Amino acid sequence: MKFYVTTPIYYVNDRPHIGHVYTTTIADIAARFHRLCGDDVFFLTGTDEHAAKVVDSAAEHGVTPQQWADENAKAFQDTFAKLGISNDDFIRTSQERHKVKAQQYVGELLKTGDVYLGDYEGWYDAGQEEYLPENKAKEYEFKSPFNGKPLVRKKEKNYFFRLSRYGDSLLKLLEERPEFVHPDVRRNEVRNRIREGLNDVPISRTGGSDWGIRIPGDSEHTIYVWIDALFNYLSTVDTDERRKFWPADVHLIAKDILWFHAVIWPAMLIALKRELPRQVYAHSFWISEGQKMSKSLGNFIDIEKIDQYVSNFGLDALRYFLARYGPLGINDSDFAEARFNDVYNAELADKLGNLVNRTLTMIQRYRNGVAPQASDEGLRTDAETMVAAYRERMNRLDFVGALDALWGFVVRSNQYVEESAPWKLAKDPAKARQLDGVLYNLAESVRLISVLVTPFMPTTSGAIRTQLGVGDKRGLFAEETNWGRLAAGTKIGQVAPLFPKRT
RNA sequence: GCCAGGGUAGCUCAGUGGUAGAGCAGGGGACUCAUAAGCCCUUGGUCGGGAGUUCAACUCUCCCCCCUGGCACCA
């Protein structure tokens, strides 16, 4: 099986923040899960660079657009590298490999008549040299929000994509493949808007700058940045070696860019006669300490803030928090320090960390650090039930649900310790075999957890395995989740708390 | 303004025409392998407000209030 997952390509004028980190981490978890399952995975992220504002920002900083883009793209690359993101490629829309393909796609659409030269008419702000969308123009009472001068009605030549042609196809798509847009609420949003009718969309600009991709055969027009950006998902894998990955299994996005991904993008792909992605998954937003993040409040969880969390709690704790309490569904999530701290202590230190610690300490104390022989089926049924739920949920990208199942098993294992009270068994030589069984079951439980935690907390997984003495290397999901894989006689390693408690 | 989604215990959320649920936080208990962790028990709610339909509504209908997303070229 192949698995192709994408994040949006990030706008190169932005500085990386929790939103970018979240989407990318979610994609990373999906990618790592599928690698664990033995799938042929391609995980793509990158930067979107051809906006007019990039030209402006570059000018303000006295550098060329390319230099500016290079510098800022590097900020994203560095951030993702620092966060251990396992992307297989990083596409930048200013790269030749992308530009050539994007131009080719628009060329194809020109041939089929899906892209045509038409007239664009709209409210133009002469001072800013830009058009305002109808609703914005209205909001500003048809005056420039910058200098108060009246907006003028202006018309110019523009290339359009014939989106209006694809309304029925899109509705049919949503009907036949309801999973195409996820969650359901988003699909309904999209469907209702499509029913309201689709207009053709302008896909070119005549900025005069040469920062951008030319419309084939017309040196006046460049491809509008959003259209250019969408093509990245295809352009990157549109090579002989990578074509096998298309179509994308899932485009992970935030809800604000749903329209482009669930309507314009599939319509263009239909026009290009390409296979459609299997799913567009739109998550919601993070808010910060109960408040919406905004420039005016200056409360962005920015990269400096993220670094602080990583150095205080560790990268895996951040990944766990993002996955477990992130806005994967329709509600926004609150990134609050007190909450993070509680979750760290309760779920990572007290539940998981302590289970590993008490298990290994008991083996050390009662069995000289050697995993004993199994003697009963103790936690097996619980484990198997959990693994089935975990796998099913992971396959649906329901990471919250998967972690629920996994942590339910952690709790179950802790209960098992209390029920079997190894410290009592240890006092009675006649119960040695029973104690062996209990300790084996706990060790096996810890081993199983080390495997299932891999996509979320790769470093922790390795740390557990090293302490348990089975080594960081692990096999595929199917074999590693077989109960009883731990060999009796395994010598456990040095034991230390995985998540030191914070106060 | 229009189109959606949501307002349920201190917090995060699940739920559905028939006597309100979970996790966390709070309170109590027995234990001791463990990171004063874990385990067991437990206090909390007029289910946003109002009216209506019904034998019966948190659950259906209508009105109002508040929050969130989208309203197409702002990536």
Does residue A304 lie in a domain region? no
CA-to-CA distance for A344 and A394, rounded, in angstroms? 22
> Rounded to an integer, what distance in angstroms lies between the CA atom of residue A399 and that of residue A323?
6
Q: For residue A302, what pLDDT is reported?
A: 87
Assigned domain for A503 exists: no
Residues A232, A340 within the same domain: no
pLDDT at A74: 94
Categorize the per-residue pLDDT at A56 as very low, low, confident or very high, splitting at 50, 70 and 90.
confident
Helix (H, G, I), strand (E, B) or coil at A354: helix
Residue A241 pLDDT: 96
**pLDDT (average), residues A413-417:** 96
Q: What is the pTM of this model?
A: 0.94
Closest nucleotide to residue A226 (Cα to C1')? B75
What ipTM did this prediction achieve?
Answer: 0.89
Return the amino acid letter for A163: L
pLDDT band per the 50, 70, 90 thresholds, residue A291: confident
The spacing between the Cα labelled CA in A342 and the C1' in B35, in angstroms, equals: 14
- How many domains would you assign to chain A? 2
Q: Which nucleotides of strand B come closer than 7 angstroms to any CB of the protein?
A: 1, 3-5, 11-14, 24-25, 31-40, 68-75
Residue type, A209: S
Confidence of residue A127 (pLDDT cuts 50, 70, 90): low
**Whether residue A352 sits in one domain with residue A257:** no
Boundaries of domain holding A475: 336-480
Q: Looking at per-residue confidence, does A141 or A475 come out higher? A: A475
Provide, in whole angstroms, the distance separating residue A247's CA from nucleotide B21's C1': 42
Which range among A14-23, A226-235, A289-298 shows the weakest confidence by mean pLDDT? A289-298
CATH number at residue A128: 3.40.50.620
Q: Has residue A375 been placed in a domain?
A: yes
DSSP β-ladder status, A201-202 and A152-161: antiparallel
For residue A247, tell me if it sits in a domain: yes
CA of residue A395 to C1' of nucleotide B50, angstroms: 46
The CA distance from A173 to A169, in Å, is 6
Positive or negative torsion for Cα A420, A426, A432, A436:
positive
Residues in chain A: 503
- Does position A136 have pLDDT exceeding 70, yes or no? no
pLDDT tens for each residue of A462-487? 999 999 999 988 999 999 999 999 99
Lookup: nucleotide whose C1' is closest to A364 CA: B33
The pLDDT of residue A91 is above 70:
yes
Residues A178 and A248 in one domain: yes
Q: Say if A296 falls within a structural domain.
A: no
Which pLDDT value is given to residue A362? 97
Phi, psi of A231 (to 5 degrees): -60, -15
| Interior/surface letters A377-390, b for 16+ CB within 10 angstroms, e for the rest | ebbeebbeebbebb
Boundary-marking domain end, from A265, A283, A301: A283
CATH number of the CATH domain containing A376: 1.10.730.10
Q: Could you tell me the distance in Å between the CA of residue A325 and the C1' of nucleotide B13?
A: 11
Bigger pLDDT: A107 vs A155:
A107
3-state secondary structure of A1: coil
- For A35-55, write each residue's pLDDT tens digit: 999 999 999 999 999 888 888
Question: How many angstroms separate the CA of A346 from the C1' of B42?
Answer: 20
Asked if residue A502 is part of any domain, the answer here is: no
Across A117-121, A140-144, A209-213, A304-308, the highest mean pLDDT is recorded for: A304-308
